[in-house]
Amino acid sequence: MLKIAITGPESTGKSTLSQKLAAHYQTAWVPEYARQYIGHLGRAYTLKDIEAIARGQLALEAETAQQARKLLFCDTDLLVLKIWSKHAFGHCPDWIEEKLQQQAYNLYLLMGVDLPWEPDPQREHPHLRQFFYDWYKRELQQLGVRFVEITGHEQAREQLAQEHVDALLREHNLL
């Protein structure tokens, strides 16, 4: 099974694209565990919460992978949690960094910041979107993983993502 991580700053269409790609390829997608966790927290999050979210995300991904066919789309990954942790607390727990190095995604889709910001109680940094985008891109380059930048309006993003997913499927003789 091929795994694709949709990553990038807040309000860039990660969840929407994950859902649409999963529907298009008739497979499963892993939602962002943090949304559910933070939504039920009732207080400001802490570094320990980010660790709990990371564990929850990994467990949800493992559980959802059992339902996937050929492809698994992941609405987030440990890179999101590393950047979130470092920005919010100046530190990322070592175990998250280690697991990040071990992630086995076949492709990362880095979502651009050219969509309008959509306010949400869980979103924090509308003025730092380019800053975060650049940080994600640097981290992906340092990890040495395969990634593509996804930009444009919603339909163009979906089409561009599908082109890259189709190419990945062809490479693995799955299309």
- Supply the DSSP string of 70-137, one letter for each residue: SEEEES--HHHHHHHHHHHHS---HHHHHHHHH---SEEEEE-S-SPP---TT---GGGHHHHHHHHH
Number of neighbouring beta carbons within 10 Å of residue 155: 9
pLDDT digits over 109-167, tens only? 999 999 888 867 677 777 899 999 999 999 999 999 999 999 999 899 999 999 999 99
145 phi and psi angles, rounded to 5 deg: -95, 165
Domain span holding position 73: 2-171
Distance CA 134, CA 147 (A): 14
Give, as one character, the DSSP assignment of residue 165.
Answer: H
Q: Report whether 114 contacts 136 (CB < 8 A).
A: no
- CATH code, 152: 3.40.50.300
Average pLDDT taken over every residue of the chain: 94
pLDDT at 102: 93
pLDDT at 175: 79
pTM over 0.85: yes
pLDDT at 117: 84
Find the range with the poorest average confidence among 47-56, 98-107, 116-125, 150-159. Answer: 116-125
Residue 70 pLDDT grade (very low, low, confident, very high; cuts 50, 70, 90): very high
Q: Does position 101 have pLDDT exceeding 80, yes or no?
A: yes
Number of domain units in the chain? 1
Q: Report whether 68 contacts 21 (CB < 8 A).
A: no
Q: Report whether 80 contacts 88 (CB < 8 A).
A: no
